[in-house]
Homo-oligomer: A and B are copies of this chain.
Amino acid sequence: MSKLAVAFLLLSSVCCAQAPSGFEPASTNVWGAEYPRVDATGRAEFRVKAPDATKVQVDFWGNPKLDMVKQPDGFWTVTSASLVPGFHYYSLVVDGAEVNDPGSHTFFGGGKDASAIEVPEAGSSYYLPQDVPHGAVREIWYFSKVTGTWRHALVYTPPEYDSQSKTRYPVLYLQHGGGEDETGWIKQGHANFILDNLIAGKAAKPMIVVMAYGYARHAGQPDPDMGGKPFGSPDMMKAMQQMAQAFEDDLTQVLVPYVDSNFRTISDRDHRAMAGLSMGGMQTFQVTFDHLDMFSYIGGFSGAAGQLMLGNKALDPKTDFNGAMADPAEFAKKVHLLWLGVGTEEPAMMHAGIARMHSSLDDAKIQHIYYESPGTSHEWQTWRRDLKDFAPRLFQAGTAKP
C-alpha cells in the first residue's frame, strides 16, 4: 500500500472516536484514538491489537502489571482499578517486549519516548489551558563550548513578553527528572499553563522559565562505561558526578549567558531561580550552592542533595551546601527562598530523606518552606503542585548582596 493511501486511511481511522458512556478517551491520546480511556472514578481501560501474542500486560512502571485478556478479534483489553489523579507513564509488555501503546502520545520518560495516561483531577484546573493570556514556549538551540555539541532547550516567555518590548523579566531555570528530558515540564508538567494561570491571577510575577537538557558530557570526554555496574558503585557514582559537573558547567558558563544575551532578562542573582524534580532537584542543589553569586531562589521537588535525599545521612548545616548555612541569619539574607517538596505516597526512602532534611533545617533554624503533596507519589501531579506553590514565592524579595 502506498504511503499516500496509508495517510488517507489513517486520516479516516483517526476520525471516529466513539466513547461509551462513562469512559472518555484520555487527553494524552493521539487524535481520535478511542483507547486508553478513563472514567470519573479514575479507572482506565486499555485495548491493543496483538493477534499473535500469547501474553500482553499493562505495566505502570513498578506496580504489579495488569494482565490483558485476548478478545476474539485479536485485541487485548483490561480495565484498571481507580488511579491517582494526574499523569502516569506506562508500557505494554507484549511477549516480553516493553513497548508503547499506539493510542497514546509519547512523553520522554524512563530514557525513552513512553506512553502515558492523564487522569483528570476533579475540581483542578490550575494546570489546564484557561481563557487567560498565554505565554509562548520557544525551542532554542545553542552551541555549547562545554560539551562541544548543539544543545536544545525550551524557554517559556510570559504573556506580553512580545508586546511589552522594554520590560525585562526574572528567570526560573526548571529541570526535569532522571530519564526525562527538557520537554517534560511542558508536555508532562504543563508548566506553561500553570504559569499562565498564576500570572493571570496575579499570584505569580511574570517570569521567563528555562528548561534545559539535563544530560551532558564534557567535550572529548569518553562515554562512561557503566554497563553492568551495580547501582551506587564507585564507578557509577563517578560517571554520574562527571555528568553532573558537565551539566553544571554548561548551564552556568553557556546557557545562562546565552539566555541573558537573547532574552530580556534581569541578569542578576536576585532575579534568577532554579528548581528541579528528582535528579533535577539534585542538580539544582549542586548548581545553586556552587554558584550563589548567580542564584538566590532554590527549589527541590522530590529532590535534594543526593545523600540527604536518600536519607543516608542527616544534614550538617556547618559543612553541607559548601557551608552556606553555617550562619542561618546570613543564609536567610542571601538565599531568598529554600523550598522542599515531596509527595506523601513517595517511596519510603525518599519521603523519609526529604522529611529528615526538613527537620534538620528546622533544628538548625534555617529558613525554608516544606510542602507535602497529599496522596501523590514520585510523579508529575506532585511536581505540578510543587510548581504551583513555589512559583508565587519567587522574585518577591528585595535585593541582597551575595
Question: Do B378 and A31 touch (CB < 8 A)?
Answer: no
Q: Is A129 an interface residue (CB 8 A)?
A: yes
Question: Do B96 and A52 touch (CB < 8 A)?
Answer: yes
Contacts of A219 in B (CB 8 A): none
Question: Do A178 and B10 touch (CB < 8 A)?
Answer: yes
Contact (A111, B3) CB under 8 Å given A9-B231, A138-B137: no
A79-87, A97-105, A199-207, A315-323: which lies at the interface: A97-105
Name which residue of chain B comes closest to A100, CB basis: B100
Contact (A350, B2) CB under 8 Å given A53-B95, A178-B10, A186-B139: yes
Question: Do B3 and A347 touch (CB < 8 A)?
Answer: yes
Question: Do B136 and A150 touch (CB < 8 A)?
Answer: no
Number of copies: 2
A: number of interface residues (CB 8 Å): 96
How would you classify the secondary structure of chain A's contact residues: helix, strand, loop or mixed? loop
Name which residue of chain B comes closest to A161, CB basis: B162
Q: Is A122 an interface residue (CB 8 A)?
A: no
Residue from B61, B111, B136, B224 in contact with A140 in the complex, judged by beta carbons closer than 8 Å: B136
Q: Is A112 an interface residue (CB 8 A)?
A: yes
A264 to B162, CA, bound (A): 9
Question: Do B16 and A227 touch (CB < 8 A)?
Answer: yes
A37 to B97, CA, bound (A): 20
Q: Is A349 an interface residue (CB 8 A)?
A: yes
Contacts of A7 in B (CB 8 A): 110, 177-179, 278-279
Contacts of A102 in B (CB 8 A): 98-99, 112
Question: Do A97 and B53 touch (CB < 8 A)?
Answer: yes
**Interface flags, A266-309, vs B, CB<8A=1, else 0:** 00000000000011000000000000000000000000000000
Name which residue of chain B comes closest to A243, CB basis: B15
Nearest-neighbour CB distance to chain B for A324, whole angstroms, equals: 26
Segment 224-253 of A: residues with Cβ below 8 Å from B: 224-227, 229, 231, 236, 239-240, 243
Contacts of A142 in B (CB 8 A): 134
Question: Do B138 and A12 touch (CB < 8 A)?
Answer: no
A345 to B343, CA, bound (A): 55
Name which residue of chain B comes closest to A53, CB basis: B95
Q: Is A13 an interface residue (CB 8 A)?
A: yes
Q: Is A363 an interface residue (CB 8 A)?
A: no
Name which residue of chain B comes closest to A103, CB basis: B112
A43-51, A325-333, A383-391, A393-401: which lies at the interface: A43-51
Q: Is A54 an interface residue (CB 8 A)?
A: yes
Residue from B6, B186, B240, B262 in contact with A12 in the complex, judged by beta carbons closer than 8 Å: B240
Nearest-neighbour CB distance to chain B for A69, whole angstroms, equals: 15
Nearest-neighbour CB distance to chain B for A196, whole angstroms, equals: 9
- With A129-B150, A131-B143 given, can you name 14 additional A-B contacts, CB distance below 8 Å? A5-B231, A6-B62, A8-B240, A9-B231, A10-B178, A14-B111, A15-B224, A16-B223, A30-B111, A30-B113, A31-B215, A52-B96, A53-B53, A162-B263
